Structure 1
C-alpha cells in the first residue's frame, strides 16, 4: 500500500513525522513524504531536526503569498504528484491550506484520505480563519477520521460522521516526548541565549502570538498585558519568540522591547521550544500545538483567544481560555504567578491529548484497511 503524506507547515511536520517514521518501518506500506513548501524553511528545519528527508519537495512558497495564490499553486502542484505517484492513501494533518487542498484533491482522485487530528471545531468559520473552514472541508472527503480526543470524535458524530472515526490521541505528544529525551545542539545553544532557564529558583513565562485574527488591536492588547505583568513581576523572565510574519513584530516590539525582563527572540526551533516548555512556569499563547504539548510538561496554559477548538484542555483543567482583553489576561496570569495552589491545580491536571502512542494506532488502523 502506497501512502502519500502531505506536509506544508512546521506544525504539520512535527505532527506527521512520527506517523511517517512508523509507516516507513512497516513492510506492508510504502510511505512517501511530500513537502509543499507552504512554510518552506520552518517546515524543513523540523525535518532536519528529526533526520527525515522529504521524498518530494514542491517548494511552492512565495514572498507575500495570499491564500488565493497559495491555493492555486497547491492545486496545480499536488495534482501532478497524485497523477504521477498514484497513491492508495493520502494522509493530511490538521487544518492548513496544504491539508485542505491535499484532502480535496485526494477525494477527487478517488484515493482514501486519512485526516490526522480530525474533529476539532470552534463552530465559527471566521475563528480561526481559515482553519475552521479548512478542517470542515477535509472532513467531507475523508475516509478515516483520526480524532485526537473523545470530544473531537463526538464533534464528528454530531455532524453525522459515524464511519471510521477513531480516537487515537494527538501525534504531537509522540513527537514532544521523543524530542524531550534528546539533547540537541539547539537546546545547548539556549544555555547561552537564555541562561536563566537553568535556574530552578526562577520563573519563566513563554509567550507566543501569531494568529491572523489577533494581529492588530488584539495583539497590541496582548503585548500591553505582557508588559504590565513584566512590570509587576520584575524577577520573572518573559520569553517572546517573535513570529516571522512582519506584522507580528511591528505590533509587539514597540510595546515590549524596552523591558529588561522581556526577551524578544527569534522563532524557536522545535527542539528549543520543547526545552523552553520543559523549563517554563506558565505559557501565554494563541497557538494550537502548544496547548497540547505544555500539559505533557505540567505547565499551565492561558489561551489568548476568544474561542478554541481545543476545549479538552480547558475541561481537564490544564488550560484556560482568557481572550485578548489586557485586564483579563493580567488577572488570570497574576493568579497563577502569585498563588502556588492555583498553579499546582492546573500544572497537575491530566493531559487529555494522549500518551505518545497515536502513530502506532494510526498505522494499525491503516494496515487493516477498513
Structure 2
C-alpha cells in the first residue's frame, strides 16, 4: 500500500510527523506500507529549513509543488495543477490530507478526479462560521473524502449528521498532541527568555493572525489596549507576523511591557507556552496545546471548531469585543481559571491507531 501524504503549512508537518513515524515503524515490522510526502508550498516559512525536519525526525518532502502566493483562487488552482502532475507521475493507493488549509481541499479534489481515494485526518470538525476560509476547506474536503480520522465525538456526530456511514469514521484522537507529547522534553529555551529575564508563570504569550482581528484596525487597537491595561505588570510576549507588526506600528501600539518578537520555532514557542501564566490567541491549534499543558487560554474568536478545549480543556471563548478582556483577566489573576481535564484519546497514540485502521482497509483500496 502506497500513501501520498499532503502538507501545505508548518502546522501540517506537526500533524503528519507522528503518522510518518508510525508508517516507518509498521514498515520495519514487515507491513506492506510506504509513503510519499508532498509539500504543496502553500505557505513559505523561512524557519522550515533542514533543522526543522530534523527536529521533527522526519525526512524532507519528496516533492515541493511551490504553489504559494496569490489569491485564494490562484493558490487553489496552482496547488491543483501541481498536484495533478505529481499524482500522475507518482500514482498512489490513497491520498492522506490533514487539517483545513487550502492544500487539504485542493489535493482532495485532484485525488478524487484521478480516482484515488482520500482519507482526511481531523475530519468532521466545524466552527459553523462560513466567513473562515478554513471552514469552507473542511466542508468541501469532508464532502469528497472516503475515510475520516477524527479527534472527538463531536466531529463524529458532525459527519454522521451529514450522511457519512459509520464504517468510514475512525475515532482516533489528535496527531498534533502526539507531536506535542513526544517533543515536550525537547522544548527549547528561546533567546527572548534570557533577554527579558522571564520567570515561570509571570508573563503572558499572545498570538493574533486572523483577519477578523488584525484587519479591523480600530478594534485591534482597542483589544491591544485592553490586554495591556488589564495584564497587571506582566510582560506580554507577542511572536508576531511582520504584516501584523506593521499594522500595530502604524497604529502606534506600543508599551514597555509589550514585546513583539519574530515568530519562533515550534520547540521555542511551546517552551514559552508551557511556562506562561496564560495565552491570549485566535489560533485553534494553540488552544489544543495549551489545554494539554494545562495553561489558561483566552481565545479572541466568536466560535471554535475545537469545543473539547472549552468543555474539557483550559480554553475560554472571549469573542472579539474588547470589553471581554477585563473580566477574563480578573478571573485569571484571582486564580479562578478552570483546570484542564483529560480529553479522550489525546494520549500520544493517535498515529498508531491511524496506521492500524489503514492496514485494515488496505484491501478495499
Alignment TM-score, normalising by the size of structure 2:
0.91
- The alpha-carbon deviation at position 306 of structure 1 amounts to 1.0
| CA 49–88 in structure 1, closer or farther in 2 if over 3 Å, else same | same
- The alpha-carbon deviation at position 41 of structure 1 amounts to 2.0
Structure 1: state its 5+ residue gaps: none
Residue 360 of structure 1 pairs with residue 352 of structure 2: yes
Q: Indicate the residue corresponding to 1:83 in structure 2.
A: 88
- The alpha-carbon deviation at position 228 of structure 1 amounts to 3.0
2:334 to 330, 333, 339: 339
Contact 1:294 1:300 in 2 (8 A): yes
Q: Indicate the residue corresponding to 2:326 in structure 1.
A: 330
Residue 31 of structure 1 pairs with residue 35 of structure 2: yes
Structure 2: state its 5+ residue gaps: none
Aligned equivalents of 1:323 and 1:19: distance in 2? Answer: 34
Q: Indicate the residue corresponding to 1:54 in structure 2.
A: 61
Q: Indicate the residue corresponding to 2:212 in structure 1.
A: 213
Alignment TM-score, normalising by the size of structure 1:
0.90
The more displaced of 50-59 and 254-263 is: 254-263
Aligned equivalents of 1:123 and 1:307: distance in 2? Answer: 8
| CA 147–194 in structure 1, closer or farther in 2 if over 3 Å, else same | farther
Aligned equivalents of 1:306 and 1:40: distance in 2? Answer: 28
Aligned equivalents of 1:232 and 1:90: distance in 2? Answer: 48
- Paired residues for 1:276-295 under 5 Å: 276-295=272-291
The number of residues matched between the two structures is 354
Aligned equivalents of 2:350 and 2:124: distance in 1? Answer: 15
Q: Indicate the residue corresponding to 1:313 in structure 2.
A: 309
SS of the counterpart of 1:102? helix
- Paired residues for 1:1-370 under 5 Å: 1-27=1-27, 28-41=32-45, 44-45=48-49, 46-52=52-58, 53-62=60-69, 65-126=70-131, 128=132, 130-162=133-165, 163-184=167-188, 187-196=189-198, 199-200=199-200, 202-217=201-216, 220-244=218-242, 246=243, 248-254=244-250, 257-316=253-312, 318-336=314-332, 338-340=333-335, 342-343=336-337, 346-351=338-343, 354-369=346-361
> What do the CA deviations read for 1:106-125 (whole angstroms, capped 9, x no partner)?
11112121100111112232
SS of the counterpart of 2:129? coil
> What do the CA deviations read for 1:113-166 (whole angstroms, capped 9, x no partner)?
11001111122321x2x1111111111111110111111111111111123111
| CA 193–31 in structure 1, closer or farther in 2 if over 3 Å, else same | farther
Aligned equivalents of 2:309 and 2:252: distance in 1? Answer: 29
- The ranges of structure 1 where at least 4 consecutive aligned residues each deviate by more than 6 angstroms after the TM superposition are none
Contact 1:238 1:262 in 2 (8 A): yes
